[in-house]
Amino acid sequence: MNPITINAVAFQADGLWIARCLEYNFVSCAETLEKLPDELLSQIIDQIEADMEAGHEPFFGYEPAPQKYWDMFAAAKAVSKPIRPHKSVSQRWREFRDRTKVETQLIPVAAAA
């Protein structure tokens, strides 16, 4: 499997925190910003594993996110630091990342305000 890079921008909408992945227009949500990285990484792992089990490349059929999310990410990245998952997900993520060569970065828009 080729290495996969997933950048995501985090923002609030309708009372939820949303993570929009740029390269694959993959969306995850959580009730708090603190829970969002864990939810996103769990969903990424589940999606990649499901695609591989079906004999597809990870994120088969996904298109890149619309340009406005790339612009949000670029603006937020200039003033914000990536947010990290909690330890409970971190161990699963490290093992998965090492096995599949996936790198992620989640940048919160709210910190840019």
pLDDT at 102 over 90: no
3-state secondary structure (DSSP) of residue 11: strand
Q: Give the pLDDT score at 112.
A: 39
- CA 8, 103, 99, 4 torsion: positive or negative? positive
- Residue 17, pLDDT score: 94
pLDDT at position 38? 86
Residue 34 token pair = 């603190």
Range(s) of the domain holding residue 11: 4-112
Does the pLDDT value for residue 66 go beyond 80? yes
Domains held by the chain: number:
1
CATH number assigned to the domain comprising residue 89 = 3.30.160
> For position 85, what pLDDT does the model report?
66
